[in-house]
Structure 1
Amino acid sequence: MSSQARVLERRFITLEDVRDVLSISAAQAYALVRSGELRAIRVGGRGQWRIENAELEAYILRSYHSPDTPRRFA
């Protein structure tokens, strides 16, 4: 079983895990959370971000588009 598959078995994952799953930079993963596009919670005394796998999957599904749908560029 790949490390990515093991990550997706857990209920909550870290921003680093999100970065690995989406193949994006740490700054991009943090920006998704800060903007509210990817819902997350802060836990622990240091306020580390955790993302529920269901939220990551929902974000991925929302990110798909059809060729007929105009794309939004930020």
Structure 2
Amino acid sequence: MDGNEILSRQFITLDEVQVVLSISRSQAYALVRTGDLRAIRVGGRGQWRVELTELDAYIERCYQVANAATADDIAAS
């Protein structure tokens, strides 16, 4: 499945989160376990699903943290 197919749906799996963010499987699960990335469990086996709006919000929060760190680095210079 390519990136465009993944991003055309409302919910994606943690394996697909892994592809979008270019992270390991364990990192994707850790994001959910820590609450950094909101997800829901669905189905009889309780598989995790992430709504794309939640993934977008997570990415935006990461940008805000990076921007704040950059501003702090500049201020310290």
Identity score, percent: 59
Q: CA deviation at 1:63?
A: 0.2
Q: Compare the two structures and name the one with the higher helix fraction.
A: 2
Superposed, 1:1-74 pairs within 5 Å as: 3-64=2-63, 65-66=66-67, 67-69=70-72
TM, length-normalised to structure 1: 0.88
Number of equivalent positions:
69
Structure 2: where are the runs of 5+ without partners? none
Partner-residue secondary structure (3-state), 1:42: strand
Distance in 2, Cα, partners of 1:37 & 1:5? 24
Distance in 2, Cα, partners of 1:30 & 1:13? 13
Q: Specify the structure having the higher radius of gyration (Cα).
A: 2
> CA RMSD for the aligned pairs?
1.4
TM, length-normalised to structure 2: 0.84
Structure 1: where are the runs of 5+ without partners? none
Q: Which amino acid aligns with 1:50?
A: R
User: What stretches of structure 1 move > 4 A for 4+ residues in a row?
Assistant: none
